[in-house]
A and B are shown apart, each in its own frame.
Chain A
Amino acid sequence: MSASEEGLASLARPFVRMPRAVAIYVGAIVVLALVLVTGVSVGRYAVDPVRILDIVGQSLADPFRDLAEVDERIVMLVRLPRVLLVALSGAALAVSGAALQGVFRNPLVSPQVLGISQGAAFGGAMAILFGIWGLPLLAIVFLSGLSALALVGFIARINGRSEIVTVILSGMIVGAMFSALVSLAQFLADPNGPLPAIVYWLMGSFASTTWERLFVAAPGLAVGMILLWALRFRLNVLSLDEAEARSLGARPDVERWLVFALVAFIVGSQVAVSGIVGWIGLVIPHAARLMVGHDHRTLLPASMLLGAAYLVAVDTLARTMTAAEIPLGILTALVGAPVFAVLLRNHYRDRTAK
């Protein structure tokens, strides 16, 4: 090595990927497992840990057995599907955020930026207002989330190519518009009828989770996550600037929309069963990036694990801290906003230091 290269050696620390990443993954999986176990074990109805093992054990041995006792039903029919759905939602929302941040080349975006959450929320509000529940509600929420995205695409596509800043601004416009429409739905609703459901639902809550809701949302969440994970290398390429990405054989305009559609699929599934839960897509990828770096091949799995663990922890707090259920969106905002402020400061401090 030349003299200058040796001089550089002190600055450029070698990035030995394998052992460190393995350690982080193992750590994240352990944390997630702990959080899941805790989630199933705690609640407003006290159930002995030994009894919980007994209940879960019996159900593993005979999944379709009749659950006669109230503690069995609480563990298997109330807590377990909820913990699983929350974990899946947390993972999926975090991955969506990470993917969007890669595609936008900006770490300060999230599904809400595209107006997808607001669009889905509006569909849900209208459905509730007209007394539509169940599977038709889910279908309406998917479609309205996707239509928000289509609207963003329509507004942003000025001369055949979508500039990122234009997309962000269009997302804000569409998001604001759908939020206003949700407020309109609130205004039209009977305050003692569907309205509390709407209000509660917009602040996010997994309180009504059943196995049925889990099975309805899970495919969208899982498929969305799997496909985004499959795009992990491509996301690296898409996070280069337009010219570089195109010269490497990618078609950013088109491929970006594939990512957007997958995100809409995920967010629509999640909003349909639990209302708007914010800040996960924004904050978790940042934390994950601090731990494993920008490469989406490690960032996406890390985001999934962290997102799942974090949301389960917060949801467990939401349903156990007080007798009343605290809407989840409030807690994620209360925790997420200050954390994000700190991350933001660090981000800009690093950038100016360079």
Chain B
Amino acid sequence: MAQAAISSTVRDADVQTRAVVDGNEATARIAHLASEVIAIYPITPASPMGEFADDWSSKGRTNLWGAVPEVIEMQSEAGAAGTLHGAITRGALGTTFTSSQGLLLMLPNMFKIAGELTPTVIHVAARTVATHALSIFGDHSDVMAARTTGFAMLCASSVQEAADFAAIAHAATLDTRVPFLHFFDGFRTSHEIATINEPSEQELAALIDPASITAHRARGLDPDRPMLRGSAQNPDVFFQAREACNPFHASVPAVVQSKMDLLAELTSRRYNLVDYYGAPDADRVIVLMGSGAGAVRETIAELTSTGERVGVAVVRLFRPFPTEALLAALPPSTQTIVVLDRTKEPGAPFEPLHLDVLSALWHSPTESWADGSKPRVIGGRYGLSSKEFTPAMVRAVFDEASKDNPRNKFTVGIIDDVTHNSLTYDPAFTTDHARVRAVFFGLGADGTVGANKNTTKIVGHNTDLAVQAYFVYDSKKSGSMTISHVRFDPEPINSTYLIDRATFVGVHQWDFLERMDVLKVAAPGATVLINSPFPADEIWDRLTVEVQQVIIDRDLRLHTIDAGAVAKAAGLQGRVNTVMQTCFFALSNVLPTAQAIDELKRAITVSYGKRGDVVVQRNIEAVDTTLAELFPVPVGTTVTATKHRRPTLTGAATDFVERVTARMLAGEGDLLPVSALPPDGTFPTGTSQYEKRTIATEIPIWEADLCIDCGKCAIVCPHAAIRMKVYDATELQVDGAEVLKTKSFRSREVPGMSLTVQVAPDDCTGCGLCVTACPAHDKSEVKRKSINLRPIEEHLDTERVAWDAFRALHEADQALWDPASVKTSQLREPLFEFSGACLGCGETPYIKLLTQLFGDHLLIANATGCSSIYGGNLPTTPYSTNDAGRGPAWSNSLFEDNAEFGLGIRLGLDAQQHGALGLLAKLSTGSPALIDPALAAAIAAGVQDGGDTPIREQRERVEQLRDALRAIDDPTATQLLELCGTLVRKTVWIVGGDGWAYDIGAGGLDHVLASGRNVNILVLDTEVYSNTGGQASKATPRGAVAKFASGGKGIAKKDLGLEAMSFGDVYVAQVALGSSDIQTVKALLEAEAWPGVSLVIAYSTCIAHGFDMRQSMTQQKLAVQSGHWPLYRYRPGDEEATTPFQLDSAAPSVPYAEFAGSEARFAMLRRSNPARADELMELAQADVAARWRYYEQLAAVERTAPTHIGTAIIAEAEDEP
């Protein structure tokens, strides 16, 4: 479901409208009302704004003027900005939404838009710009990069302000002609749900001056009154023309203030360009922008009540900087100003807001200050990448400001033991007094977050209480934990930080109690609700030592329910949300229980009504049966448990993992000091092995007697959690070998070996793909396969021992096995293991296979997206190393530039290899030769040799070379010693999804395809932007429903393979592992061997396709059978009469509708709009037929292409003297 309307706004006729919404929805509503054209592109955390706008327009929702805004998804933020620029140049009212790198891509157009004085508003959920690492979380590094564009910048610090300032921005831009960037903190505000009073349509209309719209339209490009804009100017006039805009920018502060005043008249909500809160006679004043203002205001309320003279100036308008308003806002009594910036600008004298405040003070007359001298100004950084910013930190800041010699350029919220800039603070200090402070721990799949959103809505709409809900998500996509922080209070809630003293703790999965310190957030006397499969009187004895201790120490009151059983009885398998929600209402007394239950049922009807009566009825039944199953838990007075919390790590780990990774895994990353972290973002690989998540309820158990050694279970596993090894039986001396199952391996080439297929029980997600793929049945009992899912509790202990024993067995000697078969490819060690990808992920098996085939000499350039998240999202990475310490070297640059990034890696390698060959030639041709000429010649000859044996032999030769070089006292030898590693073949793979390859990175990809260089490109085509939640890309097929294509995509999917073939010298393959694993293996091997550019487009099933992911591989097969995804390989050749295009799949044998009907992305359209679905399905079937006919003809086309490309550089190098 889309970013679903959190709100169900209660609208009075014409006055205040109280709504329960998040910052994105509040903003998007205003933007949609005030716009005619909305150009969008998904990026976290701004994507929901575009999704709301698209959703509303697709349903015919109109703007203030009764028209439905045009919403268009572009190929990138650069495209969105260009489209916006065009729309507003024409005189339309336009807007867009973005964040982070997206905003950076808009900068060139923003300069143009501002330079042309064209009104528009860009709404930004401010997010960290990627530096040493990507981060999706919030700070101001992106908007600060836009402060030179000429856009006015207005900062909202709460959900209410996001709504109000969106309205002010749309109104003020039209009056001033200066475009506005309206921003608020990513996640903290964009995703925080709160009660607000939405500006009504009448209020918004009253803010916007129709005359300004008329003037804007009159300036629009129109052949009826032609003009020219965007000229090229010369030194004679450019400068003067640039200065001509000054009056417009100068007018902005006054206009914004006038709009704020008008809003106050209309709504009683008053804002100023800079708002001051706190003691009128404050001696210490913080200046800051954004959501941190909430925590600061709350702290000030607490501190001033004890007589402290503190205050805060919250900057609303950041550009043009309101110098006068700031000076007017500061009390004359101010002695110390502390400027807090939520960004970092290395090398700058101070951060940007700090500099602006200093500049303002420069203009302030000394005599305007109480003691006749200007306040001193210090500053610091806080909250980068959504780092918590709490009252305890605010107090530390004020304490620092009290000192005679306070630190300047400090940081707060971290421990900086390198440059020692950080302030210390007392975490025990709190100002969080909300009446209800509830924290819920849930599994991603159990509906906890949805339930809490729902609860928040119910309370927000049925009480006068202010509500606030904020959600913390996992870095894993499968088996992920969610933590919901929910506050209710009679007073407005300013607590813009997480709850650490909860009055209510909901533990929605029993397992959490055993592996995490979930009760550390419980305040003394708190109520704890545990979802448990055990009777209430057994709970105490089943708790760990640590949990029992905290319960006793804090006098916690426990309740329990077997929510899974209640849900199951009501026909809601696995969805405990309704049950736990009912318990919360019963225990928290936020509402009278009877009323709460009535409202809950009403909410169920609203939430699930569209899904069908039966879904509503089952949920209501769950509500009705819940309270009879809710029991208080008898609690002991002393600790009686002997069991301890499960350790974070199992087994021996490296020092770095022990010191750093383990702390992050334990949820203690916030406590790591600066010195613990690599300064350049470089992390060791092979760390996922230490993260034993044990999230499966069932794991595959191997039946050796049935196995046919095919390797299919291993090749399809998305998590490398089931593996096969072939070994000499004499190896079965390793510890634990007695529990290893084994059988003789069928091989003519290498007879007499043993085979074991083994699951990694703590790393398996239980997705069941291996079972689906297994072709071996018991001849007498067909349901018994060679791999069967069995309850983990029955097998965990044994399989753990077996897995350790399996790991201890030697990896197969790769030289013995030709990798060109599924079976033998799976004898190779995967160097990509235990990713946190979704259950049944269609992408990861390809990457795993890539590492099995080429992992020890593989460099990966990875586009941002799902593959960069499951590949590189801390705390651990699935990329690993072999016994020799070799393994994939991986890096992510950006989303849009991945092809170029990978090409750069190739060029770097080639240049180094070129240089090394030159040095080698020099050292081996002198008289006397310092290096054995025969060795040098052999190395030069083998520099491009691929395959296990040639690479191993080349490594041995290079090792000889190293030994020789070390003995030579010569600068040339030293240089060659540094570079000689490049003389062993390295393979560069450029990996990314369809969002990158088909859309945002298409230009770069096109150029790389045309480069002729030896790079390999793997496109993991899920046909949708998977990582950001299912937005349509140019890979989305016709007829599929996706976000931004909710009416079903009307245009056929782009044929990327054909585009690549047009270059003539590019190897192209289209593969689908679930349809032909052997064709996939062959294609990857051929691509790697091809001396030029290779492109492999891999069909990747995805949760966004809408089917049972256990059928992931079966579904791939159906896609091929229906003609949706023909398999082929295009291998150019310079032989005469070559037909390079080879179709590897049979003609479509299944109607396209049968394939489409089995996936919700297509089937949903049939339900919502059958006529359009029929029309699109007919066209899609025609697409399939036409493509197949075309491919059949291609398969007969003779084409000769020169294949010397890729060897040119080597030849050149060999020619070097």
Asked if A and B bind, the verdict is no
Interface residues of A (CB under 8 A from B): none
Interface set of B (CB-CB < 8 Å, partner A): none
